[in-house]
Structure 1
């Protein structure tokens, strides 16, 4: 049976980050992907990213085969369970304005990731609309805070 290879793929979605799905490819399919990459007009960064993923998976497969030859059986990597997180005192509640700043940063990072993968055009309009909506909400918060500050200064 031919060895299988896994490769990360980007899933289409609503703009929120998700864990990438893994797909299993045979070595012949991987070679076909290499040829297709050379023929396509991917940037060097995109090609390098794909090749890095393929190399990492190849290294994992080599390690697995070494374990099989050494022990005579397939030893799956057993991951230790993380110790239960200690409950700390609740963190101070984040201000909605700060939450919006973080959300905008996440959207920008997502758009940059998609542009690096050549899918920026597909997501740019959606992400920019979400960012402008959040900016409007930030302006409203700023306006309300300014009014409250003016009223507070007027009464003193």
Structure 2
């Protein structure tokens, strides 16, 4: 009884054979797939779908080979062009001070989440140390900016 239920679960598929890009198969592969389909107990619809896909792929491969023999070139190679290279201007300079503010906020949110889960004690020391390190870096940036501003505003 249990084996019949397992067989029904295996044989009843719901479209998992759909592929975004069909593959090409050699005749040996086709025969191997036929044998595998019989042994895997696919439904007739699934078997028919697979065989139709293989036939279409073989027809496509035949046309490609005919084009190669007729023109001496692979039509797929002719169609493919390298993607245009976009000229990027200089990336906007990221303000480290703003980055640090965001990082501190993320760490505070993480700590709040961990405390809500009851694991705040485990992370509190590490997170607070990271936040204090970020604050020190922010103070250094602020000090440097203040010095630059004083030099710029000082009478020459």
TM range (shorter): 0.3 to 0.5
Per residue, is there more helix in 1 or in 2? 2
Q: Which has the larger radius of gyration?
A: 2
Q: What TM-score do you get using the length of structure 1 for normalisation? A: 0.44
TM (normalized to structure 2)? 0.44
Larger strand fraction of residues: 1
